Amino acid sequence: LVEIVELKEHPWYIGCQFHPEFKSKPFQPHPLFVSFISACLQGQ
pTM (whole model) above 0.85: no
Pair 38, 10: CB distance under 8 Å: no
If DSSP codes are grouped into helix, strand and coil, which group holds residue 41? helix
If DSSP codes are grouped into helix, strand and coil, which group holds residue 7? coil
Model pLDDT for residues 1-44, shown as the tens digit of each residue: 677 788 888 877 878 787 777 778 889 888 888 888 898 999 86
pLDDT at residue number 44: 64
pLDDT at residue number 36: 85
